[in-house]
Structure 1
Amino acid sequence: MSGHTSTGRATSSTGWKIAVAAATLGVVYGYDIGNISGALLFITEEMELSPLLQGSVTTVLVAGNIVGALIAGKLATVIGRQKSLVLVVLGYAVFSVWSSLTTDVLWLDISRFFLGVSIGLSLVVTPIYLAESAPTAIRGALVVGYQVATVSGILLAYLVDWALADSGNWRLMLGLSAVPSVLILFLVVRLPDTPRWYLMRGRREEARATLRLVDPAADADRKLAEISADMAAERGGNLAEMFRKPYSIATMFVLAMGFLVQITGINAITYYSPIIFQEMGFEGYAAILGLPAVVQAAALVATVGSLIAVDRLGRRPLLLGGITTMMLASAMMIAVFATGSLGGSFWGFVAILLFTAGFNFGFGSMVWVFASESFPARLRSFGASLLLASNLVANLIVAQLFLPLMEGIGGAATFAIFLALAAFSWLFVLRFAPETKGRSLESISTYWENGARWPSRSTADSGRDEFRRETS
């Protein structure tokens, strides 16, 4: 039976395909950023890497992320969200295999750079695809679900590294992500693009058909009219428009948000947690690779909690609560290093666990939501690219400077910096982050048009009256 005569089954099938594809992409992404933490121990031994070259293996991936994030917005607009996802999956498969086959650090860095480009594309395109395909009532949950999959991938990476540690098989650690990438390719090529992108290209009937397929509860014609009106009201649709009113404040917000998410230190823990645990006095693979896996399991629980709460409690409570937990954890790490209690420090382990869980409950989950919600349809790809590029620049800084800071000024001072940055982030979120729970993508623009505040009813009514006068 056709999709129109069997709406329930077809819609259920399409929804599951989108969810499975996004989840798999999240798992592969998480695996690819987490597996280097264990693999680097054995790559360093085999290739006799200096500390500088060890850092390059980590940071070159992030450099590729930046390039991919910068080009993703334009790519997703020109060829579509779905075709961009196909390129992402192909990149994951090809470059993870390439990195596992290299015999020197130069080719390892080159292969990981292009793997990073694929990741950068995915970081922008996947949340946009989810946000533009999901009904308003569950949009936040589906976008946060991508973060759940990402944390699951990081956890899986630590478990695989732990399982392969005795053999030292770093090539298998790096190459295994090609397996789900190849499998998911057959699903991604069959997915539709988003209704918004079809409308941007003037393909109205395809947009209507996709809306009915993905969200049968919605009034397709009314939704199409809302999207069309939103797109028609916005002029430009280019990067320069991002820095003009009414979206200049939104652009400032996403650039700062993206930077603060990473500069507060989460990937110092993701990339270097085995080294941090060694500094605390832990020994053996069961500890230095097993304990990070426990930390990521707690992060997964926190992310699932965020998934459950995001469309009930809203975005702001989760953000503020998560950052508060990061501040507490940083204070605990300062105490651990300042007092010298490093002999397999239980409290240091608890602090790392709380820091990672707090991040994933707040910043880690919400950044995907704000990346997809802060701009109207024709600017959404550019906005997501800017947020993720800012995010990844901070990621690069942390990945490159964390170990020198630990060695140069000590653990207490390093985590004091993270504490100060988290406190600033809390104040920034309190002032600027909008609560978008239950609001349509088309209505959120009024927040930025009103100077990063929701307009009062009287202001909104006045604006509508002014619009009627101008158009009469």
Structure 2
Amino acid sequence: MGNANTTLQEQADAAKSGVGYVTVVVIIASLGGLLFGYDTGVISGANGFLQSEFHMSAAVTGLVSSSIDLGAMLGVLIAGYLGDTLGRKKTLMIAGLTFVLCSLLTAFANSVAMLVIGRFCGGVGIGLASLLSPLYIAEIAPPKIRGRLVGSNQLAIVTGIFIVYFVNAAIVSTHATAWNQTTGWRWMFGMGVIPGVIFFCLLFFVPESPRYLATREKYNQAFDILYRVNGQEKATAELAEIRGSIADVKDSFFKELFSPGIRKALLIGVLLAIFQQFTGTNAVGYYAPMIFKAAGAGTNASFYDTVWIGAIKVLFVIVLMLIVDRAGRKRLLVWNGWAMAVFLVILGIAFSMPHMLTWLVLSLVFLHTIAYELSWGGGVWIVLSEIYPTKIRGRTMAIASFALWFATYLVAQFFPILLQAIGGTWTFWVFAAFCIVMAVFMHKAVPETSGKTMERIQADWMGGEHSTTLDR
């Protein structure tokens, strides 16, 4: 009996050690998401000052904002190849250095062209991090809490957005408008150097993805990492399953890509990625201060209202992390798709009122943000990181991520033009229509992935009957 108790205690201690280990690794990897959030959010504070400093039209403003999305499209394509060849860890390190470079370029920009180049460079870093951070976390996380841990990347993204909103508001409120137009926006961009350097340095202390190591036949190293995460019994079973899934992928990349099961997974992933950007959230995020000013708020008030958006994002991503593995990905995405549609319809009505009510607009933006962060914000990245085979996961996820960033570019480029041409009411109703379509699509076409190993998900797409105790 004493030996049995000792064994149980050792297993409990090992489990605690594994949870602590994987938590530290995930926190470091998710800092790529924080940089993602900082670089995408910084433009919301700088936009108005850039327009004054460089005399930019609505179209040029859209180009400066959306150039980061063009860079991200290139970044995800590079990330897919680099992640499958150099490895997840090294590619994330490259992303960290890229963030530092783009922060410096934009901070010292003396022309619109240099701004666009700096933003494009930042987009490349975002593309690398947006693909590899959730992918890496998914590949190292235990199945039962994978959704929660991959959700930490979304938490890092919204934390980055919150930080940059706070930084922007602090700079705006403590300096005169003239100083902000010439210098303040430079500090907004330049502060991104700090998290970029921290991210790069901390990556030296995390391991490579065990699934990537397995694709390179470094099975002993892969087992060591899986052992630290799950203990010996589960690590042995999981490594065997990983080796089996890799052995199943024998054809060329393109032949495998268009095999029946993977073709369906790829199409669903691409559509989910596109739909995420047509929720209207990035349109609101990029131009939140402008929206609040249009609704009657003053300059400083609009910036502080934007800070509240950042705080709400952080809070409800934490809620998502707590419920996503129990509620399931599918249920959250369907219900909140409908909720976002309702809020956008009412927001459109609010913009059509002769005397726009600031409190109503603010409330609807907050509610839309909550629904998004409880579902399509982190949920899409969780699903995308789960549904593709290990051996080609980086490149298949790159295709879906490319579609996501192309859709992001379209929204960022044409939202200010659309808002100017047809007004807030019809603009938000267009996004509401997309929310309805994507809720129906999620309900009809996408299976639940919660609680399954990534290899079991792959087998399900391929019509296989593989089972594993790790799914339970």
TM-score where L is the length of structure 1? 0.90
**1:320 aligned partner:** 334
1:164 aligns with 2:171: yes
Are 1:335 and 2:342 an aligned pair?
no
Q: Does 1:153 align with 2:167?
A: no
**SS of match in other structure, 2:372:** helix
Q: How much does 1:23 deviate? A: 3.3
Contact 2:140/2:210 (8 A) holds in 1: yes
Q: How does 1:185-264 map to 2 (within 5 A)?
A: 185-216=200-231, 218-236=233-251, 238-264=253-279
Query: Corresponding residue for 2:63?
Result: 56
Matching residue's letter, 1:175: G
Task: Indicate the RMSD between aligned Cα atoms, in angstroms.
Answer: 2.0
**What is residue 88 of structure 1 aligned with on the other side?**
95
Deviation at 1:435, TM superposition (A): 0.9
Q: What's the counterpart of residue 271 of structure 1?
A: 286
- Which shifted more, 356-365 or 241-250? 241-250
On the 8 A contact 2:84/2:392 being kept in 1, the answer is no
**For 2:288, what is the secondary structure of its paired residue?**
helix
Separation in 1 of the partners of 2:254 and 2:316?
35
1:237-386 matched pairs, under 5 angstroms:
238-285=253-300, 287-342=301-356, 344-386=357-399
2:266 partner letter:
T
Deviation of 1:254 (Å) = 0.5
Q: How does 1:93-172 map to 2 (within 5 A)?
A: 93-166=100-173, 167=175, 168=180, 169-172=184-187
What is the one-letter code of the residue matched to 1:338?
S
- 1:12 Cα offset (Å): 6.1
SS of equivalent to 1:49? coil
Q: Which residue of 2 is the match for residue 3 of structure 1? A: none
TM-score, with structure 2 as normaliser:
0.90
- Cα distance in 2 between the residues matched to 1:448 and 1:225: 19
Determine the C-alpha separation between the residues in 1 that align with 2:458 and 2:332: 22
Residues 188 and 416 (structure 1 numbering): CA distance in 2 closer, same or farther, change over 3 Å? same
Does residue 429 of the first structure (1) align with residue 425 of the second (2)? no
Q: Which amino acid aligns with 1:251?
A: L
Question: Does the Cα contact within 8 Å between 2:387 and 2:457 map onto a contact in 1?
Answer: yes
Counterpart pick for 2:45 among 34, 38, 52: 38
Q: Which moved more, 1:232-241 or 1:155-164?
A: 232-241
Unaligned 5+ segments in structure 2 are: 1-12, 468-472
Give the secondary-structure state (helix, strand or coil) at the position aligned to 2:205: coil
Q: Per-residue deviation at 1:14?
A: 3.8
Query: SS state of the match for residue 443, structure 2?
Result: helix
Tell me, in whole angstroms, the C-alpha distance in 1 between the residues paired with 2:15 and 2:237.
20
1:306-356 Cα deviation digits (max 9, x unpaired) = 1100111111111112212211111111221233341x4211111111111
* Counterpart Cα distance in 1 of 2:66 and 2:101: 20
Higher helix share: 2
Shift of 1:235: 2.4
Task: Point out the more displaced range, 14-23 or 240-249.
Answer: 14-23
Amino acid at match of 1:299: K
Match of 2:54 in 1: 47
- What do residues 77-134 of structure 1 show as CA deviations (whole Å, max 9, x unaligned)? 0000011111011111122122111211111111111111010011111111000111
Contact 2:273–2:380 under 8 Å retained in 1: yes
Deviation at 1:365, TM superposition (A): 1.1
Counterpart residue identity of residue 184, structure 1: F
Shift of the 443–403 alpha-carbon distance from structure 1 to 2, 3 Å rule, reads: same
Matched to 1:128, the amino acid is: L
Structure 2 residue matching 1:409: 3-state secondary structure: helix
Q: CA deviation at 1:21?
A: 1.0
Structure 1 pair 13/422, CA: closer, same or farther in 2 (3 Å)?
Answer: closer
Q: 1:412–1:212: structure 2 CA closer, same or farther, 3 Å change rule?
A: same
Task: Decide which of 31, 36, 42 is 1:29's aligned counterpart.
Answer: 36
2 CA distance for matches of 1:305 and 1:217? Answer: 32
Which one-letter code corresponds to 2:221 in the other structure? E
CA distance in 2, matches of 1:357, 1:9: 32
Q: CA deviation at 1:422?
A: 0.6
Counterparts in 2 of 1:139 and 1:265: CA distance versus 1, 3 Å: same
**1:429-452 Cα deviation digits (max 9, x unpaired):** 0011211111111111243235xx
When the two structures are aligned, how many residues end up with a matched partner?
447
Q: Write the distance in 2 (CA, Å) between the matches of 1:311 and 1:140.
A: 6
1:237 to partner: Cα distance: 5.6
Whole-angstrom CA distance in 1 between matches of 2:96 and 2:315: 27
- Which shifted more, 182-191 or 392-401? 182-191
2:29–2:203: 8 Å Cα contact kept in structure 1?
Answer: no
Of 389-398 and 93-102, the range deviating more from structure 2: 93-102
Cα distance between partner residues in 2 of 1:315 and 1:12: 22
Distance 1:40 1:446, change over 3 A: same
Supply the distance in 1 between the matched residues of 2:61 and 2:72 (Cα, whole angstroms). 18
Q: How far apart are the structure 1 equivalents of 2:255 and 2:315? A: 40
1:136–1:439 CA contact under 8 A, matched in 2: yes
